[in-house]
Amino acid sequence: MKLLVTGGAGFIGSNFIHYIFKKYSDYQVVNLDLLTYCGNLENLKEIENNPNYKFIKGDICDIKLVNELVNDCDAIVAFAAESHVDRSILDSAPFIKTNILGTVNLLNAARKYSKRFHYISTDEVFGSLGPTGYFHEKSLYDPHSPYSASKAASDHLVRSYFHTYKLPITITNCSNNYGPYQFPEKLIPLFVTNLLEGKKVPVYGDGLNIRDWLYVEDHCEAVDLVLHKGKIGETYCVGGNEERTNLEITHKILELLGFGKDKIEYIEDRKGHDKRYAIDASKIKRELGWEPKYNFDKAMKETVDWYKDNDGWWNRIKTGEYFNYYKKQYK
């Protein structure tokens, strides 16, 4: 099988490409990524010389390029997205362009060439939960940020192409991912790298906002199962069943790195900050036999250790050295 993976130089996309090559030695992967601020080819250095792998710097909003690549693949796995809530609050335009218009380009090409299409989405499209209950496939959409609104719009578009054009699509809505190669603006890598640099960690509000945490490789396995065995036209919610407050995550990182609570700096809460996300993943477990394999405490330790052992990787990102290099390589 030949896969077109969009956004494959990002955190989850690069982990997915590594996962695919570990499991399917005969698969081919074309990675289409614009290499914006969070796209990092160092994430894929281990496989860059694999003859079954090809990287193309390009934009999913480029209709001509998208059509060429989709025509030459068997299936599309669409990770490409603007994904940081804080950035969407500052400027929503890139989120509308990439997450909505870019997705439409991919869908139109998939329809034109009759290709299998899998879309990676988020639990944030469902809004915020109270102290009880879980998001599931029938949950009503109630996005609270420009980011989640753009992803909600894309979910609806993807689903509409199934109903209107019979395009073979599936969607996964996942909870918060963590693991290697995550861009150091997200909570876990930001806090780890800040502490390793001798800085404090900025906790929004009272730190009691709750997220369900999912190790990235468990997510990759779920996407693989849905891509190959999922029912066409269906959505699958994917969660780790590991609810933690942001403060609990902070304390865990402090513990693993040997720091005290004096390293916490409470800051003004994020605008429209959703209180709680939690996912009921019983559908994918029941229908496809998926279960998260990674224990939270062990996976958190491995994640923190990865950032400790790969300080060159995140230092090059934080100092801008990576971007200066790749601007020259991929003009």
Catalytic residue positions, numbered: 123-124, 147
Compute the distance between CA of residue 46 and CA of residue 317 in angstroms, rounded to an integer: 18
Compute the distance between CA of residue 40 and CA of residue 17 in angstroms, rounded to an integer: 13
- Tell me which amino acid residue 37 is: Y
203 touches 266 (CB < 8 A): yes
Tally of CB atoms within 10 A around 61: 17
Burial of 46 (0-12, 13-18, 19+ CB in 10 A): exposed
Helix (H) or strand (E) holding 182: none
C-alpha 216, offset from chain centre:
8
Measured at the alpha carbon of residue 77, what is the angle toward residues 116 and 125, in degrees to the nearest 5? 105
Measured at the alpha carbon of residue 329, what is the angle toward residues 77 and 321, in degrees to the nearest 5? 95
